[in-house]
């Protein structure tokens, strides 16, 4: 009990320490918004950026602020910001926007909720002016309202009267002739009373209509009605922007193209001459049956495989039923299905697998299996009956017969009587084994001690690290001196990137600041007012070797010459200077470590 109590105390201390450290080092949540342009035309686009600091995975911002804009593109990415060697990871949400009207438009504020608090950005204003192109507001949208710049849609089906579960091919076509069409949004028709299967993802071709050639985008779907009566397929809608030239100027017009609705009449197949085993399959199918092994013993399994293939909604068809017989027991195993489009029709293959267990010896025929369907093209029923399959079932051996005779024997076991009534494919245990219970004390396990011991070591290490850090902060001189070279190395890494990008002006400005900051921290003085003269005197008083003193003085003079006198210096000389500064300040650190 003492060990368990101590373990709980250790876990509680670990949890409290983790929460305390998380609270102390939690970053403040900040939200910033910006745009790349403050003045645009109706033909331009503006990028709105939302930067979120202090949250690893912020939620998506709410978008009620985009009433006067259309979102063309949006994206989210992680960024890293480096300030004085310190790295900050933040999230940026991008929105590529295009204006829908002219004037002074407002973007924002964007907002989101995190841990019960609401955060939002400041609103931003954009001036939108008219461009050399003309912009027309929405008006009536007939199918052929611009002479020479036709734009229209068509929605059709291959048949308007079908049987329940019979395929209907739905065809959507978008026609456009001349001009440019952009920012297309497709709203598919309503087909909630159908099962849908995609036939062709998307097809593009040219077609002549009324003496003009059109570019056509075509989509096809296979629909299977799931109820009878009249079913309405609601219109398909295309929203887009059309650009064309009129009277010497370009015109951009927002269009909404709407197809006509379609009425489908769905009926049941005729009851006359309907087979007894008909279960609603509509289409054109093939059906076959295979069995193995053909020679076996009583109570051994026979595998049956029924393969159904053809055109129709094959996924909705269930396994054909056997003619029940007391000579066999039936056990369903599994089904497999494969489907694909073949032209304008939906084709599939479905395999039903089952197991039969013969109950007596001799030559026997498997139970009769048949499949019926209604073929709408021939307007009649079809029934497929495969040839009967014969199997040879051998008698049991004498030992197997003795085992069979034991099935009605009553056996006592652990104060209970178990009677075996019959033997099936699922084996029933006759002997019940009793296993001794094993008591296992979890806190004596090696893994338990290892995990908790590791947690304790981590807590002790964290405690001594924080204690040492606090002592250094109290002794400001020692803290600055010890931390000086670490900060120097971090900032030199950032400086190397400026050098690689060829930004030599910023390279020398930052190099001058880095050397000043290192010497100020090393000797516990203020960085303000440090120059080559004061630095030279300070290093002389600290008995720095003359060679190092001269080189440090040269470095500062070279930086000031480039910064203030704009002396020209090559990239190769800058690289050599970078390496020399690293080397000399490393020697300086060894002296005053």
180: domain CATH number?
A: 2.60.40
- Tens-binned pLDDT, residue by residue, of the chain (593 aa): 454 455 556 556 555 554 444 443 445 788 888 888 888 887 677 888 888 888 878 888 876 556 677 666 677 887 767 665 565 778 888 887 777 778 888 887 888 888 888 888 888 888 988 754 444 434 433 333 334 457 899 999 999 999 999 999 999 999 987 667 778 889 999 999 999 888 877 887 778 887 777 888 899 999 999 999 999 999 999 998 887 767 767 778 888 999 999 999 999 999 888 898 898 999 999 999 999 999 988 888 899 999 999 999 888 888 887 776 788 888 877 788 888 878 788 888 999 998 888 888 888 888 888 999 999 999 999 999 998 899 999 887 766 666 665 554 444 444 444 555 555 555 555 555 555 555 555 556 667 777 877 888 888 888 888 777 766 555 566 667 777 888 888 888 888 888 888 888 788 888 888 888 888 887 777 776 677 677 777 777 777 787 888 888 888 888 877 777 666 677 788 888 888 888 888 888 887 76
Q: Is 585 exposed, middle or buried (0-12, 13-18, 19+ CB in 10 A)?
A: buried
* Domain match, 324 and 384 both: yes
* Domain match, 200 and 186 both: yes
Domain assignment present for residue 360? The answer is yes
**Number of structural domains in the chain:** 5
Among 394, 409, 430, the domain boundary falls at 394
* Domain match, 212 and 300 both: no
Identify the pLDDT of residue 198.
83
* Domain match, 127 and 150 both: no
Identify the pLDDT of residue 233.
96
* Domain match, 176 and 193 both: yes
Residue with structure tokens 């908790």?
452
The string of DSSP codes covering 400-419 is HHHHHHGGG-EEEETTEEEE
Question: Residue 522: phi, psi to the nearest 5?
Answer: -65, -35
* Domain match, 485 and 520 both: yes
Nearest to 519 by CA among 548, 499, 558, 546: 548
Are 356 and 366 a contacting pair, CB within 8 Å? Answer: yes
* Domain match, 242 and 149 both: yes
Are 315 and 348 a contacting pair, CB within 8 Å? Answer: yes
Question: Residue 304: phi, psi to the nearest 5?
Answer: -115, 130
For residue 168, give its domain range: 136-267
Q: Residues 441, 446, 447, 453: is their CA dihedral positive or negative?
A: positive
* Domain match, 150 and 234 both: yes
Among 267, 297, 322, the domain boundary falls at 267
pTM across the whole model: 0.46
For residues 158 and 226, what is the distance between their CA atoms, to the nearest angstrom? 18
Which pair of tokens denotes residue 421? Answer: 């009534």
Domain assignment present for residue 72? The answer is yes
* Domain match, 332 and 381 both: yes
Domain assignment present for residue 535? The answer is yes
CATH number at 67 reads 2.60.40.10
Strands 39-41, 124-129: parallel, antiparallel or unpaired by DSSP? parallel
Identify the pLDDT of residue 406.
59
Q: Is 552 exposed, middle or buried (0-12, 13-18, 19+ CB in 10 A)?
A: buried
Nearest to 217 by CA among 164, 172, 161, 169: 172
* Domain match, 459 and 480 both: no
Domain assignment present for residue 421? The answer is no
* Domain match, 330 and 358 both: yes
Q: Return the CA Rg of the chain.
A: 41
Domain assignment present for residue 318? The answer is yes
Residue 12 parent element (H or E): helix 2-24
Residues in the chain: 593
- First and final C-alpha spacing in the chain: 51
Nearest to 90 by CA among 102, 104, 77, 103: 77
Domain assignment present for residue 426? The answer is no
C-alpha distances (whole Å) from 286 to each of 36, 372, 375 are: 64, 10, 12
Coil, helix or strand for 284? strand
Identify the pLDDT of residue 418.
52
* Domain match, 465 and 486 both: no
C-alpha distances (whole Å) from 55 to each of 52, 102, 108, 517, 589 are: 7, 36, 21, 32, 38
Cis amide linkage into residue 370, ω under 30° from 0:
no
For residues 257 and 571, what is the distance between their CA atoms, to the nearest angstrom? 61
Q: CA angle, corner 243, sides to 239 and 246, nearest 5?
A: 135
Domain assignment present for residue 300? The answer is yes
Domain assignment present for residue 295? The answer is yes
Identify the pLDDT of residue 248.
63
Among 267, 302, 327, the domain boundary falls at 267
């Amino acid at each position: 009990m003492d060990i368990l109590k101590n373990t709980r105390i250790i876990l509680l201390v670990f949890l409290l320490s983790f929460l305390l450290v998380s609270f102390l080092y939690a970053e403040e949540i900040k939200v910033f918004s910006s745009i790349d342009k403050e003045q645009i035309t109706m033909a331009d686009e503006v990028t709105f950026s939302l930067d979120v600091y202090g949250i690893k995975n912020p939620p998506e911002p709410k978008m009620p602020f985009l009433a006067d804009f259309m979102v063309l593109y949006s994206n989210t990415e992680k960024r890293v910001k480096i300030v004085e060697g310190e790295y900050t990871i933040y999230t940026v949400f991008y929105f590529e926007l295009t204006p829908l009207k002219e004037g002074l438009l407002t973007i924002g504020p964007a907002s989101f909720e995190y841990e019960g608090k609401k955060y939002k950005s400041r609103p931003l204003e954009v001036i939108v002016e008219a461009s050399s192109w003309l912009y027309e507001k929405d008006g009536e949208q007939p199918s052929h309202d611009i002479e020479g710049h036709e734009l229209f849609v068509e929605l059709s089906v291959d048949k308007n009267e079908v049987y329940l579960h019979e395929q209907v091919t739905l065809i959507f076509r978008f026609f456009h002739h001349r001009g440019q069409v952009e920012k297309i949004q497709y709203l598919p028709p309503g087909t909630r009373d159908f099962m849908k299967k995609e036939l062709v993802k998307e097809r593009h071709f040219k077609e002549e209509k009324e003496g003009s050639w059109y570019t056509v985008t075509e989509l096809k779907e296979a629909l299977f009605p799931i109820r009878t009566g009249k079913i309405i397929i609601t219109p398909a809608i295309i929203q887009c922007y059309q650009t064309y030239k009129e009277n010497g100027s370009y015109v951009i017009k927002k269009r909404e193209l709407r197809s006509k609705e379609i009425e489908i009449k769905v009926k049941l197949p005729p009851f006359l001459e309907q087979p007894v085993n008909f279960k609603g399959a509509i289409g054109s199918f093939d059906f076959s049956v295979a069995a193995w092994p053909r020679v076996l013993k009583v109570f051994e399994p026979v595998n049956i495989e029924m393969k159904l293939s053809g055109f129709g909604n094959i996924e909705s068809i269930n396994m054909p039923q056997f003619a029940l017989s007391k000579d066999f027991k039936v056990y369903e195993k599994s089904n497999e299905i494969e489907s694909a489009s073949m032209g304008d029709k939906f084709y599939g293959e479905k395999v039903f697998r089952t197991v039969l267990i013969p109950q007596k010896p001799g030559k026997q025929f498997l139970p009769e299996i048949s499949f019926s369907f209604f073929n709408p093209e021939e307007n009649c029923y079809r029934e497929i009956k495969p040839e009967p399959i014969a199997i040879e079932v051998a008698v049991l051996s004498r030992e197997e017969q003795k085992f069979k005779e034991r099935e009605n024997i009553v056996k006592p076991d652990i104060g209970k009587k178990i009677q075996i009534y019959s033997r099936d494919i699922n084996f029933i245990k006759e002997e019940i084994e009793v296993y001794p219970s094993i008591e296992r004390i979890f806190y004596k396990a090696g893994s338990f001690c290892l995990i908790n011991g590791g947690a304790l070591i981590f807590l002790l290490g964290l405690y001594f690290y924080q204690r040492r850090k606090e002592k250094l902060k109290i002794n400001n001189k020692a803290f600055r001196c010890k931390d000086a070279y670490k900060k120097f190395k971090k900032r030199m890494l950032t400086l190397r990137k400026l050098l690689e990008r060829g930004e030599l002006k910023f390279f020398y400005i930052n190099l001058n600041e880095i050397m000043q900051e290192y010497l100020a921290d090393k000797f516990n003085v203020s960085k303000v007012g440090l120059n080559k003269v004061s630095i030279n005197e300070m290093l002389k008083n600290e008995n720095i070797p003359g060679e190092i003193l001269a080189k440090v003085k040269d470095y500062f003079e070279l930086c000031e010459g480039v910064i203030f006198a704009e002396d020209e210096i090559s990239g190769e000389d800058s690289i050599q200077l970078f390496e020399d500064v690293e080397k000399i300040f490393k020697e300086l650190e060894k002296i005053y470590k």
